[in-house]
Amino acid sequence: MDQQSDPPIVGIGASAGGVQALQTFFASIPSDTDAAFVVIVHLDPDARSELASILASRTQMPVIQVDDEARLEGNHVYVIAPNRRLKIADGTIAALPFEEPRAHRAPIDLFFRSLAEQQGSGFAIVLTGAGADGAIGVKAIKEAGGIVLVQDPSEAEYASMPRSAIATEVADFVLPIRELTDQLTELLASPANPVSPLIRTNDEDTLGRILAHVRVRTGHDFSQYKRATILRRISRRAQVTRKESLPEYYAYLRDNVEEAQALFSDFLISVTTFFRDPAAFKSLAENVIPQLFNGDAAGDSIRVWVPGCATGEETYTIGILLLEEAARRDLAPEIQVFGSDLDVGALAIAREGRYPATIESDLSEERLRRFFQREGEHYRVRRELRDVVLFASHSLLRDPPFSHLDMISCRNLLIYLDRQLQQQVCSTFHYALNPGGVLFLGSSESADHPAGLFRTVDREARIYRSVAGTGERRPALPVLLGPNQAAERAPVLARPQSLASSVSDAALHRQMLEKIAPPSMLIDESHRAIHLSENAGRFLRPSGGPVSTDATDLVREEFRFDLRAALHRAFERNEATLSMPILAELDGQPHRVYLQVKPVLQGSDPTRHALVLFIEGEAVDKSEEATSETLDGRPATNQTIRQLQEELQLAQNRLRVTREESEAANEELRAANEELQSMNEEYRSTAEELETSKEELQSINEELQTVNNELKLKLESVSRAHSDLQNLMAATDVATLFLNPSLRIKRFTPRLMEIFNVTMNDEGRPITDFTHQLEYEGLAEDADSVLEHLTPIEREVKSRRDGWYLVRMRPYRTIDDKIDGVVVTFVDITERRHAEVVAKESAQRLDQETRLVELSRSPIFVWDFDDGIKQWNRGSEELYGYSREEALGKQKENLLKTTVPGSSFEKLRRTLVETGRWSGELHHTTKDGQVLTVESQIELVPLGDRRLVLESTRDISDRKRWERRRQLLLNELSHRVKNTLAVVQSLARQTLRTTHSSEDFVERFEGRLDALASAHKLLVDSEWSGAELGALALSQLAAYAGTDKRRLQIEGDPVMLPPDIATPFGLVLHELATNAAKYGAFAAANGQVSLSWKVGNNDRRLAVTWEERDGPPVEPPAEQGFGGVLIENGLPGATVHRDFRPDGVVCTIEIKLPESPHDGAQR
Amino acid sequence: MERNADQNLPLAGARILVAEDEILIALDMENAFRDAGADIVGPCMTLEAALDAARSEPLSLAVLDIRLGDGTTEDVSDMLAERGIPFLFYSGQALPDVMERKCNGAVVVNKPATQQDLVGAVASMLAA
């Protein structure tokens, strides 16, 4: 990694409330820090994000939304795009789609992990947000050596995310945003990595001191961890505490007690997740796990150990795989997974089994459902899984391992250890595993060293199988490191560096010492020989069998007993010992050898090492030896006895010593045993207590479950009731107000707000506090009245907006029939009232119209189609003559004897039904029998189940009559004209017969025509009723008489001649007159005509006399002219006699007059 | 001018009843028929006279005015129909519906008609 060109990367994660927080952040961070800022927030995958533009207004740094790829540059801000995750690789940032559908819930974790993988010293900042995104990611950052800053939860709008990050205990700084930006600026300004100075050899020393300090304070030795990791962790702490160099940091470490713990925690940081390296776990599940269930393990138990389990994810992962496999088979062997770690805090988390919801990105939905219980933003391990897993505090390097294991999963622990330690750990694993057991390592680890212990099963997945050692015999427990680190290091440390100038002297000195000093052996506290002097070999004789470095196994048999005791004393009591002389065969000769054992004391520290010196004594005399050999021979002298006694003494001494030692050992053992027993007792009682509490908890749990269920049911029922209530209120859409007994508002429906000035917050306040729209002053009084008398009150009340409300008040009864206030409903009856008003008005109108109809003179009546007359107005009474009482109830067609000219009443009724109306002429008969022709308008009105008929009639009898009369007149006229023409025609013909010349004809004809016309005139004047005889005579004769009254005398009472007599009578008179003018009295100047008549016999007989006098002498005509014919025959039914007296013609006419005068029209 | 009796007398030998209440028309008809060689019964100027004649007189044909006096000549025509005597109407008005139905296609000569028409109608009826 080139630190110069790549800018430091600051990852900022935020969620709910984050926009505000980010704005504050970027407003206060300077634009020249040279760092690249990456902002990750939770975005709606379907919506556009405006975050980039929002932040751009707060900072001078360019703000870019990463849609595809971008090269990371300093003083730039990069923002995540919706529905994308961000990944860093080689100085570029890329936006990629999510692989897991659930993974988009934890984009911050994903980014932090990516950041941790790529760069060493990134910065992770967690701001406000709901949930726990980022909590896992910051641990990865920390492990990689980055720095974690978290917003102060008390300042954050949503404290959940900051809190979750803090709970991982990896937060370096927890500050409000503005101080956070200050801190970050300082950190960015300080040199990137104080690691580089450590390359100097001076600091090797300081490092050692630091580690030693940690060991002293925490009891854990990290001197054999990977140098690079250790340095990184230390430099990170140095950066955090702002110490520029290692010695400075060491000084700080020494002066601050908590720093040692912090550094220790940092050393222990390991990030673990569920199913870390899923491919490897897949291989494990397919290739290894099934086999565990086969073979020896079937029926027994399956034991797995996970050292360095930290927060337990890996342990639970293995548990999940085993449980899944067990479910696949019907077996249920006992499964035990042990998780162990140094970090007590991490173990607590593991035991708790509670993980943030962000684990969803590592576990399938099915596994989450089966093995975890969702608790808000967390998942808790279910009992099934929790029961198979056990966590214990354990140091891999210090404590004896678990044993008889089928599998060990130790991933990403060995990488922190140096090579030697790795190998030793591997050996330990090999010891702990059953033959054929499986070792599962992390992705950059291997079990190849020491060789021969493991066989590779899957190199990719790092799965190894333990190779069975040497036959059946269990391999001896390899040398484990004690509390102190391996001795290899110790001599290095113990031996100070010597100056170059003194090397040769020291070497010479050492050489000489070596030559002269007794052979020696350096022993460690486990009684193992760790260093031999040059000549010590002669005192050693390792026994056959596996090679051991145990001191007592190495030395010659003769020394073993004494050595053991001496070592014991040296290490337990710090006592140096010098043994009795021991006979040993050296160079073919027995020698007395003294064993001197001296503990190597270092101050008050417990003895770690002892030095064994083989002090070679004089050779034992052969003779003595020889003599001692032949015990059964006599030559045993006093010397022999003395020798024997000496030996016996020695033996007795030794025995005593041995007995003492043995007793001491026994004592110790007994004490130990007692201790163990009491511990055992304690443990047993503790276990029993735990068992009891477990049972108690179980039953409490069950109780709680039951209570919980009950509460749940109750809650559901209440919810339902509440929903029903809400819906009911909404459905009735009625403004309702619930008041408590002191008239305070309990609740109300939203519609009430149209009437009262209340809002949803006003519950609890007295209703009288609020103004309302109604003209209703007595609301409170009415409510009080209802409460007191328990009877409902109802009022119709006008509102100020011209509406009307029906106010109903009733007491509020609880289920147990207690009165708890008042319920008031306000029903909007505006429409109803308006309808009422309208109805009233229309009723009044109807009334008026009915009265009008009543009073009208037009005959209007109403009859029921299927019944009788219902209404009969005055006009009907007047026209038809029936009173109302007489008419009502009668069938109309019967009462009025209705006939329909040209049709029938039945047809009329049918038409009414079909079309609803009928109009036309009807004949109605009045009460006095008069038949009237009426024009009738009829309408059928259905009214409910009745059919009413409205009929209005108009008497058109007169009109009819006039029409008839007119028709008759026309006919009459036509007839008369034709008749008259025929008469004229006959006059013409007849005149023609009896005249002899044209002039004669014309004269006669004109004269007759004239007479006819005069007669007609009189008739017309009388409207054809007739002509009075006198007037007729005058009209005919006046011309002949001239002015001389004496010539014509007319005498007689007025007599009316009917038309059919008047016309011919006129003509007759005309003939008489013309004859008189030609031949008679009118021809002479003195001639006179006298016309007289008499009516006798009841106006029936008319006798007319025409008398001529003083005219020329009369001669009877030779022939009968037409005039004569006319005179004698022209009057129908008359007797006419002409007497031709010589002095004047006398004509008598007797005619019978008809009885009564006729109405002309009736003819 | 006097009409000379012609050799051609279309109504020769016929006895014709004339029912007409207008004397001049009746006289005219009488002349016309006489000139044509017929004998005239009447003219009957009243309904009674017409009925009497229709009942008892030997007739070849009757010429009736539709209106006679106050009423119509319906009874006369009935009587004539009974007797099987042909008749025609000489009138200024149309046959009333009742008589129309009874007489069923009776000949009606409209007044005023020429002598020729009238005599011709009578002649053709007699010939039929």
Q: Each residue of A211-224: pLDDT tens digit?
A: 888 888 887 888 87
| Nearest Cα to Cα of residue A450 among A425, A416, A433 | A425
Which DSSP state fits A416? G
The verdict on whether A42 is a catalytic residue reads yes
Same domain? A257 vs A240: yes
Residues of B in Cβ contact (< 8 Å) with A1155: none
Please return the burial class of A998, using the count of CB atoms within 10 Å of its CB with bins 0-12, 13-18 and 19+: exposed
Cross-chain CB nearest to B23 (options A985, A993, A1130): A1130
Mean pLDDT of A255-275: 82
Flag whether pLDDT at A572 surpasses 60: yes
Tracing tokens 């009559």 back to the chain, one arrives at A961
Any domain includes A228:
yes
Q: What are the b/e assignments for A1006-1035, b being 16+ CB within 10 Å? A: ebbbebbebbbebbeebebebbbbbbbbbb
- Residue A927 or A398, more confident: A927
Q: Which one from A109, A133, A341, A828 is the annotated catalytic residue?
A: A133
Query: Which of A582, A602, A620 is at the close of a domain?
Result: A620
Give the pLDDT confidence score for residue A63 in this predicted structure: 92
Query: Which of A189, A205, A223 is at the close of a domain?
Result: A189
Cα–Cα distances in angstroms (integers) from residue A546 to residues A97, A551, A554, in the given order: 60, 14, 12
CA dihedral of A657, A660, A663, A667, whole degrees rounded to 10: -120
Any domain includes B7:
no
Interchain CB contact of A975 with B (< 8 Å): yes
Same domain? A786 vs A863: no
Q: Under a CB-based contact definition with an 8 Å cutoff, are residues A82 and A49 in contact?
A: yes
Any domain includes A941:
yes
Flag whether pLDDT at A487 surpasses 50: no
Any domain includes B10:
no
Per the DSSP assignment, residues forming a β-bridge with A4 are none
CB pairs under 8 A between A and B: 80
Any domain includes A530:
yes
Domains identified in chain A, total number: 7
d(CA A1042, nearest CA chain B) in Å: 29
Same domain? A937 vs A1032: no
pLDDT band at A410 (very low <50, low <70, confident <90, very high): very high
Any domain includes B4:
no
Any domain includes A151:
yes
Can you tell me the ipTM of this complex? 0.82
Any domain includes B1:
no
Least confident of A130-144, A256-270, A620-634, A1084-1098: A620-634
Any domain includes B6:
no
Mean pLDDT (chain A, rounded): 83
pLDDT tens for each residue of A527-547? 888 888 888 888 888 888 888
Cβ–Cβ of A993/B31 closer than 8 Å?
A: yes
Quick one: what percent of chain A has pLDDT higher than 70? 91
Domain housing A1091: 978-1162
By CA distance, what is B48's nearest residue in A?
A: A1133
Give the pLDDT confidence score for residue A607 in this predicted structure: 64
Flag whether pLDDT at A1098 surpasses 80: no
Look up the CATH number of the domain holding residue A177: 3.40.50.180
Flag whether pLDDT at A480 surpasses 70: no
pLDDT band at A385 (very low <50, low <70, confident <90, very high): very high
Same domain? A1024 vs A1125: yes
Cα–Cα distances in angstroms (integers) from residue B3 to residues A562, A1003, A1009, B9, in the given order: 212, 20, 23, 13
The verdict on whether A430 is a catalytic residue reads no
Interatomic CA distance for residues A292 and A1121, integer angstroms = 171
Give the pLDDT confidence score for residue A193 in this predicted structure: 53
Give the pLDDT confidence score for residue A622 in this predicted structure: 54
- Helix, strand, coil in percent for chain A, rounding step 5: 45, 25, 30
Same domain? A46 vs A174: yes
Interatomic CA distance for residues A268 and B60, integer angstroms = 162
Give just the sign of the alpha carbon dihedral A826, A827, A828, A830.
negative
Q: What are the b/e assignments for A839-849, b being 16+ CB within 10 Å? A: eeeeeeeeeee
Mean pLDDT of A296-321: 84
Interatomic CA distance for residues A307 and A393, integer angstroms = 10
Residue A139 in tokens: 């641990």
Per the DSSP assignment, residues forming a β-bridge with A933 are A923
Q: What are B's interface residues with A at a Cβ cutoff of 8 A?
A: 1-3, 21-25, 27-29, 31, 45-46, 67, 69-70, 91-93, 110-113, 115
pLDDT tens for each residue of B38-87? 888 878 888 888 888 888 888 889 999 988 877 888 888 888 888 888 89
Any domain includes B9:
no
Cβ–Cβ of A983/B67 closer than 8 Å?
A: no
Any domain includes B88:
yes
| CB-based contacts of A383, cutoff 8 Å, min separation 6 | none
Classified as helix, coil or strand, A495 is coil
Which 3-state string (H, E, C) describes A342-406? CCHHHHHHHHHCEEEHHHHHCCCHHHHHHHEEEECCEEEECHHHHHCEEEEECCCCCCCCCCCEE
pLDDT tens for each residue of A650-669? 888 888 888 888 888 888 88
Cross-chain CB nearest to A975 (options B3, B25, B93): B93
Q: Under a CB-based contact definition with an 8 Å cutoff, are residues A299 and A252 in contact?
A: no
Same domain? A229 vs A316: no
Flag whether pLDDT at A3 surpasses 60: no
Q: Could you tell me if residue A800 is left (phi over 0), alpha (psi between -120 and 50 degrees) or otherwise beta?
A: alpha
Cβ–Cβ of A993/B67 closer than 8 Å?
A: no
Strand order in the sheet with A36-41: A63-66, A76-80, A36-41, A9-14, A123-126, A147-151, A173-175
Least confident of A763-767, A776-780, A970-974: A970-974
Q: Which DSSP string do the residues of A556-620 spell out, in sequence order?
A: -HHHHHHHHHHHHHHHHH---EEPPPEEEEETTEEEEEEEEEEEEEETTEEEEEEEEEEEEEEEP
Any domain includes A1082:
yes
By CA distance, what is A1131's nearest residue in B?
A: B23
Any domain includes A629:
no
Domain housing B88: 15-127
d(CA B2, nearest CA chain A) in Å: 5
Same domain? A990 vs A1114: yes
Residues of B in Cβ contact (< 8 Å) with A1153: none
**What are the backbone dihedrals phi and psi of residue A381, each rounded to the nearest 5 degrees, phi first?**
-65, 135
Flag whether pLDDT at A283 surpasses 80: yes
Mean pLDDT of A15-33: 88
- Determine how many CB atoms are found less than 10 A away from the CB of residue A157: 17
- Helix, strand, coil in percent for chain B, rounding step 5: 40, 20, 40
pLDDT band at A481 (very low <50, low <70, confident <90, very high): very low
Look up the CATH number of the domain holding residue A894: 3.30.450.20
Per the DSSP assignment, residues forming a β-bridge with A1102 are A1095, A1151
Which 3-state string (H, E, C) describes A275-321? CCCHHHHHHHHHHHHHHHHCHHHCCCEEEEEEECCCCCHHHHHHHHH
pLDDT band at A102 (very low <50, low <70, confident <90, very high): low
Interface mutation target, options B18, B24, B118, chain A, most CBs of A under 10 Å? B24
- Residue A271 or A36, more confident: A36
Q: Under a CB-based contact definition with an 8 Å cutoff, are residues A61 and A77 in contact?
A: yes
Quick one: what percent of chain A has pLDDT higher than 90? 12
pLDDT tens for each residue of A841-865? 999 998 998 888 888 888 898 888 8
Same domain? A210 vs A344: no
The verdict on whether A330 is a catalytic residue reads no
Position A390, amino acid: L
Q: Under a CB-based contact definition with an 8 Å cutoff, are residues A315 and A339 in contact?
A: yes
Interatomic CA distance for residues A1156 and B2, integer angstroms = 42
Query: Which of A585, A602, A620 is at the close of a domain?
Result: A620
- Residue A558 or A1120, more confident: A558
Same domain? A249 vs A279: no
Any domain includes A471:
no
pLDDT tens for each residue of A331-349? 778 888 998 888 888 888 8
Domains identified in chain B, total number: 1
Interatomic CA distance for residues A620 and A641, integer angstroms = 17
Residues of B in Cβ contact (< 8 Å) with A1129: 23, 27
- Residue A930 or A628, more confident: A930
Give the pLDDT confidence score for residue A606 in this predicted structure: 66
Residue A361 in tokens: 């990105």
Cβ–Cβ of B67/A975 closer than 8 Å?
A: yes
Look up the CATH number of the domain holding residue A449: 3.40.50.150
Classified as helix, coil or strand, B45 is coil
pLDDT tens for each residue of A681-699? 778 877 887 888 888 888 8
Interchain CB contact of A1163 with B (< 8 Å): yes
Same domain? A990 vs A1132: yes
Flag whether pLDDT at A425 surpasses 80: yes
Give the pLDDT confidence score for residue A1160 in this predicted structure: 43
| CB-based contacts of A311, cutoff 8 Å, min separation 6 | A272, A346, A349, A350
Look up the CATH number of the domain holding residue B112: 3.40.50.2300
Position A944, amino acid: G
- Chain centre to alpha carbon of residue A1129: 125
Classified as helix, coil or strand, A22 is helix
Mean pLDDT of A988-1000: 84
Interatomic CA distance for residues A684 and A679, integer angstroms = 8
Give just the sign of the alpha carbon dihedral A751, A757, A760, A765.
negative
Mean pLDDT of A871-883: 89
Interatomic CA distance for residues A840 and A155, integer angstroms = 71
Give the pLDDT confidence score for residue A671 in this predicted structure: 79
Interchain CB contact of A1067 with B (< 8 Å): yes
Residue A74 in tokens: 């300093």
Pairing of strands A301-307, A334-341: parallel
Q: Under a CB-based contact definition with an 8 Å cutoff, are residues A869 and A892 in contact?
A: yes
Please return the burial class of A526, using the count of CB atoms within 10 Å of its CB with bins 0-12, 13-18 and 19+: middle
Same domain? A1002 vs A1070: yes
Flag whether pLDDT at A196 surpasses 80: no
Cross-chain CB nearest to B24 (options A978, A986, A996): A986
- Residue A444 or A768, more confident: A768
Interatomic CA distance for residues A1002 and A878, integer angstroms = 64
Least confident of A291-305, A448-462, B73-87: A291-305
Flag whether pLDDT at A991 surpasses 90: no
Cβ–Cβ of A982/B28 closer than 8 Å?
A: yes
Strand order in the sheet with B108-110: B39-44, B15-19, B61-64, B87-91, B108-110
Interatomic CA distance for residues A938 and A952, integer angstroms = 7
Any domain includes B8:
no
Any domain includes A664:
no
pLDDT band at A1156 (very low <50, low <70, confident <90, very high): low
Pairing of strands B67-68, B39-44: unpaired
| CB-based contacts of A220, cutoff 8 Å, min separation 6 | A214, A264, A267, A342, A395
Same domain? A131 vs A185: yes
